[in-house]
Amino acid sequence: MLDLILLGLKEIFQPYPLIFLFFGTIAGIVVGCIPGFTVTMGAALLLPLTFGMKSIEGLAAMIGVLVGGLAGGQISGILIGIPGTPSSVATVFDGYPMAKKGEAGNALCLGVWASFFGGIISAFLLLFFAPPLASMALKFGPWEFFSLVAFGLTIIASLSGESLLKGLISGLLGLIAATVGADPITGVLRFDFGIYGLSGGFSFLPVLIGLFAFSELMSNLEKKERSTEKLILNPNLSFSSPKMIRTIFSQPVNLIRSSLIGAFIGVLPGAGASISNILSYDQAMKGSKYPEKFGTGIPDGIIASESANNATGGGALIPAMALGVPGDAVTAIMLGALILHGIQPGPMLIVEFPGLVYGVIMAFFLAHFFMAGVQLYGISLFVRLTRLPLYILVPSIVVFCVVGSFAIHNRFFDIWVLFIFGILGYLMKKFGFPLTPLILGIILGPLAEKNLRRALQTSSDLSLFFTRPISLIFLILALISILYPFYQRYKKGKVKQN
């Protein structure tokens, strides 16, 4: 293990990976702190830039965005009362009241250190759990792979939000979009309709940028003006790091419990930081001796929420690095970055590219140090960013989207793909269709098709999917993953009735 850790450190401790990790972290904090902009959008916009980099450099930048974004959402949450990202919703409950009491600086500092420790705890979990999971996965045949992918696709159920059917439709549209272009086994052209651009299939990148960045920008325009009514004018940004770190360590149970909840939610496919921060806040309140004080601006709430959301990042990387199954949209984009570099994510990744995998894990550790440093020293700058007007931001980012989509293959057709998927993404969101299943479909589609056809060509015996133990385990997990949201809804309904 130690030699692999050293290998990872050697990969990441080089000038370029470090620089990209650093700037990625800043970019993550920036997208995180601007309300309406998500970490996913930041990762999607970064993806085209990674193409010109080495794979470790690109992934380091992505890790930076992930860590920075998860932690950056607290800035606007604490100062304006509007969480920058859904992963900092619960931070607002106590962070905003604390800022109103004149302790904005301390609230932010507390959030930064809670994010830091939560992230580091999950980084250790990532280091110890990802490799054994991957080595188990090396014994897979096409049956196990298909069942694994099927399990991955059932994430759609928990990503679906209100309507399972709409999530399923979104996932199917992704799977269908992935069939355009050459057939992965016979090479036959499919659904190109004589259009040259379609014969190469939809590039992953413009689809992703269109769905997550472009459509998100357009949704922002519906609000016309960002509300700044609640802004705390001239907040007191002075803080004391040693005092806040002592505060965190005076609540070890809260910190560890929240980090473990965060990491566990991250491992679960489909559930992300937007759930973990609220869940751990709730648990912190239930486990507290003074639950009535929650929501009045006490440190406990900020520690619970912020340590959980950064821990989710480490948790989500476990299945992504070990099995090639993305836990959420950001890790899906990260796997997309690997594919762009010609590296197929999956259990073989850790065997074929141990330096890369351990480099990513080490980058995740390191990004937390960068995140803490950048946030603590640049807080006043980020505060200004949360006030940038939309009329400047939106057109500028649209241009980035266009450049990003074009640059990857130098194909004009890709700009049209961006535009069309941007409209599709916007409309889907308007009508209540979740977008992440579509991306999941595009990533897992070719794998599902290849392995299903291979399995059926090797033996037409369908029972093999159920008699091979690992395959069966994945299918059972898939079934649980489908049924669990129903159970959750049933439980919620019962609580409401009571």
Partner 1 sequence: MKADRYIGIILIIFSAFMYTQTFKFPPAMLGTLGAGFFPKILFTLLGLAGLGLIIGSFIQNKKRPLEKTFSLRVALQRHSLVILSFVLVFIYIVAMHFLGFLWATLGFMISLMWFLSPRKIKSLPLIIIISCGLTFVIYYSFLKLLQIFLPEGVVF
Minimum CB distance to partner 1 smaller for 165 or for 476: 165
Are the C-beta atoms of residues 228 and 438 closer than 8 Å to each other? Answer: no
Minimum CB distance to partner 1 smaller for 5 or for 402: 402
Q: How far apart are the first and last CA of the chain?
A: 52
Residues 6+ apart with CB under 8 A from 153: 171, 440, 441, 444, 448, 478
Minimum CB distance to partner 1 smaller for 234 or for 460: 460
DSSP 232: P
Alpha carbon distance 446, 449 (integer Å) = 5
Alpha carbon distance 79, 357 (integer Å) = 37
Amino acid identity at 282: D
Position 256 contacts partner 1 (CB under 8 A): no
Provide, rounded to whole angstroms, the least separation between the CB of residue 223 and partner 1: 9
Provide, rounded to whole angstroms, the least separation between the CB of residue 219 and partner 1: 8
Position 464 contacts partner 1 (CB under 8 A): no
Binding test (CB under 8 A) with partner 1, winner from 19, 185, 381, 483:
185
Position 421 contacts partner 1 (CB under 8 A): no
Part of the chain binding partner 1 (CB under 8 A), chosen from 139-147, 323-331, 343-351, 444-452: 444-452
| Interface characters, 50-89, with partner 1 (x: CB under 8 A) | --x-------------------------------------
Minimum CB distance to partner 1 smaller for 285 or for 452: 452
Are the C-beta atoms of residues 29 and 371 closer than 8 Å to each other? Answer: yes
Provide, rounded to whole angstroms, the least separation between the CB of residue 397 and partner 1: 10
Minimum CB distance to partner 1 smaller for 124 or for 416: 416
Q: Residue 192, Cα to own-chain centre: how many angstroms?
A: 32
DSSP 357: H
Position 368 contacts partner 1 (CB under 8 A): no
Among 446, 454, 444, which Cα is nearest to 183's?
Answer: 446
Part of the chain binding partner 1 (CB under 8 A), chosen from 14-22, 71-79, 310-318, 409-417: 409-417
Part of the chain binding partner 1 (CB under 8 A), chosen from 215-223, 237-245, 304-312, 328-336: 215-223
Binding test (CB under 8 A) with partner 1, winner from 426, 439, 471, 475:
426
Binding test (CB under 8 A) with partner 1, winner from 3, 194, 222, 384:
222
Are the C-beta atoms of residues 73 and 81 closer than 8 Å to each other? Answer: no
Binding test (CB under 8 A) with partner 1, winner from 13, 16, 128, 191:
191
Minimum CB distance to partner 1 smaller for 313 or for 446: 446
Position 292 contacts partner 1 (CB under 8 A): no
Binding test (CB under 8 A) with partner 1, winner from 117, 364, 406, 465:
406
Part of the chain binding partner 1 (CB under 8 A), chosen from 93-101, 126-134, 292-300, 448-456: 448-456
Position 172 contacts partner 1 (CB under 8 A): yes
CA 168 to each of CA 114, 437, 468: distance values in angstroms, whole numbers, following the listed order: 36, 7, 27
Are the C-beta atoms of residues 304 and 260 closer than 8 Å to each other? Answer: no
CA 165 to each of CA 52, 179, 360, 481: distance values in angstroms, whole numbers, following the listed order: 39, 21, 36, 15
Among 476, 492, 24, 280, which Cα is nearest to 468's?
Answer: 476
Dump the DSSP string for 156-217.
Answer: HHHH-TT-HHHHHHHHHHHHHHHHSEE-TTT--EES-TT-HHHHT---HHHHHIIIIIIHHH
Phi, then psi, of 157 in degrees rounded to 5: -60, -45
| Interface characters, 386-405, with partner 1 (x: CB under 8 A) | ---xxxx-xxx-xxx-xx--
Position 472 contacts partner 1 (CB under 8 A): no
Phi, then psi, of 370 in degrees rounded to 5: -60, -45
Residues that bind partner 1 (CB under 8 A): 52, 163, 165-166, 168-169, 172-173, 175-176, 179, 183, 185-186, 188, 190-191, 218-219, 221-222, 224-225, 389-392, 394-396, 398-400, 402-403, 406-407, 410, 412, 415-416, 419, 422-423, 426, 431-432, 448-449, 452-453, 456-457
